């Protein structure tokens, strides 16, 4: 039976560290704040945004919510982003994705000031992650690394297989593992014989977006399995990408859903907001 890597607990420790530093900043007269922009009525996005606001309250950040209607134009959103870029009480800006189809996500993400880009989605920050010279951590991948560290998993020299090549998770995940001297394979929908690849993994990271995608036969006995998925199954229950019940019998350690990677992503967002606030209040 696998050890369970408790993301909620590790996230609470990260947030406690952030909270202490926020208090120190406030003692110097700063009032650090995060702007969270939500466009439209995506129910999952609403939940994510309200969770981020709860996290802000917990660590002591002011949070400013901008809820815009579904029919908001790209120009209107660009105007808001420009206003937030210029506002000294806003240290970090997060525009919740996905955006409605009339708005080009790339145009918006490129418009956010790199110094307030707490998601690390701006090309300047993405490039910095690539070369290992970065201030903002990519939230989900950095959360995964933090969990591996907290669980005592040594990445150095290990074969790390990432399933998924998104800009938000798969690609930066591969890069962070590489920075920690992992040997990295990134698999995707065109990978031939996926199970053959995943069975090589000492550390297997699933970021596919499909419930029950990773089955026990895809996992090497003793592997560490990290589940980034957040899916609703047929009964509406929140589940990951990994068939937990069967994989936990094979893996040496595994992350649950919920209570695994999700809380870590949120905790790293708070750490990034702190980094932004410190850079802007030197
Ligand atoms: N939508 C799903 N994940 C994320 C994230 O990490 N950041 C933002 N801005 N939107 C998301």
Domain coordinates of the chain in residue numbers?
A: 29-113, 139-261
Query: 241 an active-site residue?
Result: no
Residue 97 CA to ligand 1 centre (angstroms): 5
Inter-axis angle of helices 7-27 and 139-150, nearest 10:
110
Inter-axis angle of helices 261-280 and 139-150, nearest 10:
110
- Strands (DSSP E) contained in the chain are 3-4, 33-39, 62-68, 92-95, 159-163, 183-187, 203-206, 224-227, 231-232, 238-239, 253-254
> Any residues with Cβ below 6 Å from ligand 1, and which?
94-97, 119, 139, 168
Select which of 15, 116, 117, 119 is catalytic: 119
pLDDT at 61 (0 to 100): 98
Query: Degrees (nearest 5) of the Cα angle 14, 17, 22?
Result: 120
pLDDT at 282 (0 to 100): 83
The dihedral formed by the CA atoms of 66, 69, 73 and 79, expressed in degrees to the nearest 10:
-20
Is the torsion defined by CA of 76, 78, 80, 82 positive or negative?
negative
Select which of 52, 116, 158, 171 is catalytic: 52
Residue closest by Cα to atom 9 of ligand 1:
96
- The Cα-based distances of 151 to 6, 9, 48, 146 in angstroms read 9, 11, 26, 9
pLDDT at 163 (0 to 100): 98
- The Cα-based distances of 178 to 115, 166, 248, 252 in angstroms read 25, 16, 26, 22
CB-hemisphere CA count at 13 Å for 77? 31
Residue 111 CA to ligand 1 centre (angstroms): 16
Query: 116 an active-site residue?
Result: no
103 Cβ contact partners less than 8 Å away, ≥ 6 residues apart: 39, 72, 73, 74, 77
Select which of 15, 55, 96, 117 is catalytic: 96
> pTM to 2 decimals?
0.97
Q: Which CATH number does 29-113 carry?
A: 3.40.50.10860
Best substitution site from 34, 44, 48 to test ligand 1's pocket, by max atoms within 8 Å of Cβ? 48
- The Cα-based distances of 80 to 27, 77, 102, 256 in angstroms read 30, 5, 16, 37
Best substitution site from 46, 100, 119 to test ligand 1's pocket, by max atoms within 8 Å of Cβ? 119
Query: 245 an active-site residue?
Result: no
Give the pLDDT of the chain (282 residues) as one tens digit per residue.
Answer: 899 999 999 999 999 999 999 999 999 999 999 999 999 999 999 999 999 999 999 999 999 999 999 999 999 999 999 999 999 999 999 999 999 999 999 999 999 999 999 999 999 999 999 999 999 999 999 999 999 999 999 999 999 999 999 999 999 999 999 999 999 999 999 999 999 999 999 999 999 999 999 999 999 999 999 999 999 988 989 999 999 999 999 999 999 999 999 999 999 999 999 999 999 998
> The tokens of 147 are what?
């969990």
- Same fold for the pair 29-113 and 139-261: yes
Residue closest by Cα to atom 2 of ligand 1:
97
pLDDT at 188 (0 to 100): 98
> The tokens of 39 are what?
């466009």
Structurally, at CATH architecture level, domain 139-261 sits in 3-Layer(aba) Sandwich (3.40)
DSSP state of 96: P
Task: Identify the CA nearest to 37 among candidates 98, 126, 101.
Answer: 98
CB-hemisphere CA count at 13 Å for 254? 25
């Amino acid at each position: 039976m696998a050890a369970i890597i408790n993301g909620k607990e590790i996230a609470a420790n990260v947030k406690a560290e952030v909270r202490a530093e926020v208090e120190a900043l406030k003692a110097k007269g700063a009032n650090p704040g995060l702007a969270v922009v939500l466009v439209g009525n995506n129910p999952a996005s609403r939940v994510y945004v309200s969770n981020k606001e709860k996290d802000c309250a917990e660590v002591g950040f002011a949070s400013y919510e901008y809820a815009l209607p579904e029919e908001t134009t790209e120009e209107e959103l660009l105007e808001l982003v420009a206003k937030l870029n210029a506002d000294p009480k806003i240290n970090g800006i997060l525009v919740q994705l996905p955006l409605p189809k009339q708005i080009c996500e790339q145009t918006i993400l490129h418009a956010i000031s790199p110094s307030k880009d707490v998601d690390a989605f701006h090309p300047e920050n993405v490039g910095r992650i690539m070369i290992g010279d970065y201030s903002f951590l990519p939230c989900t991948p950095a959360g995964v690394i933090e969990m591996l560290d907290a669980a005592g998993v040594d990445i150095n020299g290990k074969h790390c297989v990432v399933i998924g090549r998104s800009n938000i998770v798969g690609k930066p995940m591969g890069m962070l593992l590489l920075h920690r001297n992992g040997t990295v394979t990134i698999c995707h929908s065109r990978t031939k014989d996926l199970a053959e690849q995943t069975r090589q993994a000492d550390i297997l990271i699933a970021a596919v977006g499909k419930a029950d995608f990773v089955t026990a036969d895809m996992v090497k006995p003793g592997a560490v399995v990290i589940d980034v998925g957040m899916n609703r199954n047929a009964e509406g229950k929140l589940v990951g990408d990994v068939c937990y019940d069967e994989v936990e019998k094979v893996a040496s350690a595994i992350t649950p859903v919920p209570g695994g990677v999700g809380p870590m992503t949120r905790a790293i967002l708070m750490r990034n907001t702190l980094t932004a606030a410190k850079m802007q209040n030197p």
